[in-house]
Structure 1
Amino acid sequence: MDDVDEPQAGPGDLLVDGLAVGVCGTDREIASGHYGWAPPGRDTLVLGHESLGRVAEAPPGSAFHVNDLVVGVVRRPDPVPCRACAHGEFDMCRNGRYTERGIKELDGYGAQRWRVEADYAVTIDAHLEEVGVLMEPTTVVAKAWEQVWRIGQRAYFEPERALITGAGPVGLLAAMLSVQRGLDTHVLDRVTEGPKPGIVAALGATYHHDDIDTVAARLQPDVVIEATGAGPVVFGAIANTSTYGIVCLTGVSPAGRRLSVDAGAVNREVVLENDAVVGSVNANLRHYRQAADALAKADRDWLAGLITRRVPIHRAPDAFDAQPGDVKVVIALDE
């Protein structure tokens, strides 16, 4: 925790009073020194990429008004730009020179006042003030589902059953979007106690805690959204989809952990069943708008149940210490 200067204004910027930031595994990796890049010429980085704030000042003629609830986009296109960034698909940057608020070379939103370019802010419904901080992780799964649908449409595609592996915030929000799409939704996680089974049940989905091979072999899901990054779960999901199944990987696996895999069997399964495996990370402006729509349609009480711990700003370091029963931990900036 530290005092910083007032954020400097840029042309077309919004001035925002911070309400909350979410804390995720990426934040914990940065805080422990395993990941992240400070802005050039600096040795500190303001954290916070899961944002929520209220507009204090908006430039004349913009689409924003004072008191609007807004979320700041995380990634910015690279300065070259590559062809993907030049077409607004900066989540798919091809040369790695993108920057990210609170992660890579740009200060984040973990401050009581912050600025954001109007072109990289998205409004959110006023009734979502208590849960709007879930917007950024929802963008991640909005993109994942978009990728699944685009791949599925290479041919006839009418999925019926989805399996979400991992019941953290990303997995639970992926399950929410699955239910909104009318799919028979199943969630797999290793815990048997705490809030997760009840959160899944309240969504109208089915919770499982057996091993991946047992659950997926029985379900034969048409779609898997993988949100654990655990090697055995990843390969168990790939091996047990229905014919023409799609596995979308959103969890990042730690390097250095070895796993014995029958590569020939995996290849045979994918080829002979026309399966597809795709990785998905980050989001662009289109996905932020999709996420805003999804949250607006969701049950607000259910969304509130995902936030299992809200830490006041004067105790912000406590948010980085995982506790039993945590799902989503949020730092309140507006005390």
Structure 2
Amino acid sequence: MTTAADPEILRARGLTKTFGDFVAVRGIDVDVAKGESFGFLGPNGAGKSSTMRMVAATSPRTGGELSIFGLDPDTDGPAIRGRLGSCPQQDNLDEELTVEENLHVYGRFFGLPRSVIRGRTDELLDFAQLAERRKDRVEPLSGGMKRRLSIARSLVNSPELLLLDEPTTGLDPQARHVLWDRLFRLKRRGVTLIITTHYMDEAEQLCDRLVVMDQGQIAAEGSPRSLIERYSTREVLELRLPLDGDADHTDAAVLSSLEGVGERVEALPDRVLVYADHGDAALEIATDRGLQPLSALVRRSTLEDVFLHLTGRTLVD
């Protein structure tokens, strides 16, 4: 919830987006406060990117209410776009230009004086850890460098709100962590972040609050920790059991032997997940009932457990 001290940057009520007969976004309600890092988490096709394009004032809404900075994107699109930065899912850099030329050209789109652009270019290249590559052409840069340049370019107009659509897709772990550090620094500067992602660890790291979207609707909303507390247990016990013949971990006899061991039992072909507040106690009960697992792992619940519980494990094309 927003307060007087944290005015709304984004407010949506019954926000809807359709493409012909296909409904991409189904009447969602969202509030984002100034200075917040807010996430849209969901599988591919959940409606995240369609929502982001409406928020960016580049795709008109089909129905509902939407305001950004208190302005209506239908009538105030240019004013909104001048105050936000957008980093799309696919990098759209000018690869034949140099790193610094990409920033110069983009700055001119906003009508910034060349002297201002030069100063911001120096600052942003330092921020993105690309100062030593400023004269290099973009095309041969690594994926992580290109992503950092895309974010630097989206900041050239000193936006109040930064939209990041799947910011670390395709990056290796080292590049992802460098990018997370850059985004955390932006948040500390007071920039409001709205992020779409399907990476659970990214959402836990970056988001103060998030919504889980599925099939164009909001399935849950809250902080990462509150969602785990609401939809999962404190710990998860993972069991791999010896099986005979064609049996697998979904065998009725296996499930029957674990009945009541935890709050919820989920059987997968290769293992059984027992959701319990105390995983070691659940393991003790299971072994007392005669189960002799090949391996047992007790771990804390994560946002991934919440995500899969709410959206399922089946791929949606």
Q: TM-score, normalised by structure 2?
A: 0.23
The higher radius of gyration belongs to: 2
